[in-house]
Amino acid sequence: MGVQIESLFTAALGLQAPWTVERVELDTAKHRIDFEVACTSQRLACPHCGAADQPIHDRNRRSWRHLDFFQYEAWLHADVPRVGCMSCGKTSQTPVPWAREGSGFTLLFEALALTMCQGLPVRQAAQMLRVRDKQLWRRIEHYVAQARTKQDMSKVRLVGIDETSLKRGQDYISVVHDLDAKRLLFATPGREHSTVEQFAVDLGEHGGERTAIAHACIDMSAAYAKGITASLPNAQISYDRFHVVALANKAMDKVRNAEWATESQRVREELGELDARERRSILWAMRRNPSGWSYRQTQAMHWLQRANLKTARAWRLKMGLREVFAHARSHNDATMAANDLRRWISWARRSRLEPFKQLGATLKQHFEGVVRGMLDHRSNAFVEAMNGLLQQAKRAARGFRTATNFIAIAYLRLGKLTHLPASPFVRAAPQGAH
Ligand SMILES: [Zn+2]
């Protein structure tokens, strides 16, 4: 290739003196394009002490994977000089402007990989980039850790604390969300009261104040409540709708499972014309909003609502609690919300359904926090949305689901980290744009 091609690629790679593209080799059979980059200078500044104009001691051969060129895999190669410094006496490798020290990827390639991992499962991103998953995980961890040290938490006032598990029922991880900025602030293995203290320390390291946290939205586990009292002294606790409704769903499932297991004959009689398949569709319909019912579910629920079954009463109680929350959202009045909730608790306690009697007692015990949660629009929808995003993050870590990997990918996707490398395909503002 001619001289012009080399200077074209020198410019396209953003290289500046003393670096220049010396040779370009395109191998169409191997689907590769290789760029030989050279450092033309014979003397360089010492990378260690900064002394100018020092002699080059030797050169080390290095290679970097770069963004594809059309359909060709692109590689940069260079003999990277080591400076033998006369001033400090050290021999040190000069940094290259296109890559981090020790990385076999160029900065742009890393930025692309990171961008892809925000939207794709890591395994899939690795396949598309034709690299090993491990190479991506290492970079995610590096860049997330680096970006996190620069995160500003000084304005955090409202937090939501929640737990999630990597495997059903085990390997718990606590997550703390910023409910105003809608971002993940902190994630760590465990769900003890000391977890809240760990968050408070991390908050302090990012310019935040534990005493400035005015509000914490949590589930009803005692550990977080205890931790908040100890570590976030000014935070009012509220229990969010998502978790309360989840408890009602659980109570409902318990009633149904018990009744269908022990009185299956009567259940079948009460549900009259329904066949086994239709009866099964009730299981899903009960957890859904009626607006989301399929035709079969609508038919089945029609029968359930007329049946003299504990399951039917349990479903009405669950729907009743949903109503109480929906009502509170529309009137936004604390007194009305408290009255509605009190009425529901008394209904639950008279229901003769043990799981609902227990739920009624739990809600009574946490009454003020539950009412606060009913009126708290900032947190409710968000906690629910975050839960969905965390599930996606888990899927993104499929096959590599360790706590470390999950936490790294969760920060990458939900942390709104402002100091990550930008995608190489985001265009700089065009000239003359306004
Ligand atoms: Zn030196």
- DSSP character string of 105-160: B-HHHHHHHHHHHHHS-HHHHHHHHTS-HHHHHHHHHHHHHHHHHT---TT--EEE
Distances (CA, A) of 364 to 102, 343, 394: 59, 11, 35
- As a whole number, mean pLDDT of residues 413-432 equals 81
**Coil, helix or strand at residue 215:** strand
**Distance between Cα 58 and ligand 1 center (Å):** 15
272 CA distance to ligand 1 middle (Å): 89
Centre of ligand 1 to C-alpha 96, Å, is 17
Cα separation, 272 vs 282, in Å, equals 14
Calculate how far, in angstroms, residue 85's C-alpha sits from the geometric centre of ligand 1: 5
Give the pLDDT confidence of 38-54 residue by residue, as tens digits. 999 999 999 999 999 99
Range with the largest mean pLDDT of 10-14, 184-188, 388-392: 184-188
Give the model's pLDDT for residue 110.
96
Instruction: Give yes or no for residue 145 having a pLDDT over 60.
Output: yes
**Cβ–Cβ contacts within 10 Å for residue 318, how many?**
23
Among the listed ranges 195-204, 270-279, 346-355, which one has the minimum average pLDDT value?
A: 270-279
Distance 55 CA to ligand 1 centre (A): 11
Centre of ligand 1 to C-alpha 92, Å, is: 8
CA dihedral sign of residues 389, 391, 397, 398: negative
Say how many Å lie between the CA of residue 56 and the centre of ligand 1.
Answer: 12
> How many angstroms is it from 48 CA to the middle of ligand 1?
5
What mean pLDDT is predicted for residues 207-234?
Answer: 94
Element (H, E) at 173: strand 170-178
Q: Give the model's pLDDT for residue 386.
A: 85
User: How many angstroms does the Cα of residue 54 sit away from the middle of ligand 1?
Assistant: 8
Task: Give the DSSP per-residue string, 39-72.
Answer: E--SEE--TTT--SSEEEEEEEEEEEEEEEETTE
Q: How confident is the model over 250-279, as pLDDT tens digits?
A: 999 999 999 999 998 898 888 887 888 888
Task: State the distance from the centre of ligand 1 to the C-alpha of 100, rounded, in angstroms.
Answer: 20
Confidence of residue 32 (pLDDT cuts 50, 70, 90): very high
Cα–ligand 1 centroid distance for 143 (angstroms): 29
Rounded to the nearest integer, the mean pLDDT of the chain is 92
Q: Read off the pTM.
A: 0.84
Q: For residue 87, how far is its CA from the centre of ligand 1 (angstroms)?
A: 5
DSSP state of 175: E
